[in-house]
Structure 1
Amino acid sequence: PTNESTDDDDDRKENPDEPWLNDMREQFWFPFLDMLPDESEFDTYLGGKIVLLKAILDKCAEIGDKILLFSRSLYALNYIERFLYYLQKQNEEEYRKECESRRQLRQMLASNGTHDDN
């Protein structure tokens, strides 16, 4: 029995989210999270605080300002970190699509220009 508790303690040290996840699993609403599709993890309309954070991030990006965020919850900070990573990946994909569209537009304009000269 002593070794088992040591193993549990080691697992909690390796995963700092574990204590909060255990507390959350005891809540009545936790089973409902499994009903949500995976895409809804970063759906800003499922949480008002995330909507506010996204609005602040957008405004600060618009004016070139920086943000310093504090929280007493490591679970919340970990979620925000994953959310920011998700936003970064989403922006990179949009930028790639925009660059691809511009490249295609240049090719079309270049090909139309050569056909007009003939």
Structure 2
Amino acid sequence: MKEWETQTHGDYAKWRKIVDFLPDLHADEIDLKRAVKSDRTSPLSEGEKQRIIHHLKQLMPWRKGPYHLFGIHVDCEWRSDFKWDRVLPHLSPLQGRTILDVGCGSGYHMWRMVGEGA
């Protein structure tokens, strides 16, 4: 991991610091079949939501998505869910398969493939 960190994007250290400020939340519900969504039974307080939104905005622009994280809708520039809905009917079943989302950037389609059983 240390070697990867030294050879990665120039903003990695900044991004890592922002991610480290995000709370460690446990998801009671994860839905990767209909969306990329995580949630929990006890909703976040408004203060918690605002702190998370503040940190997520520092990671903008969100090119691909959307993501739904603990009641927070993370909007995006490119609607990867629309593309996924067009591609999915043309894929062979993904159940039990190993996948590699080459050039994924955001990992959105990888998560949706996991939702299909990969």
Short-chain TM bin: 0.3 to 0.5
Give the helix-richer structure, 1 or 2: 1
TM-score with structure 2 setting the length:
0.35
- Flag the structure with more relative contact order, 1 or 2, with Cα contacts below 8 A and sequence separation at least 6: 2
TM-score with structure 1 setting the length:
0.35
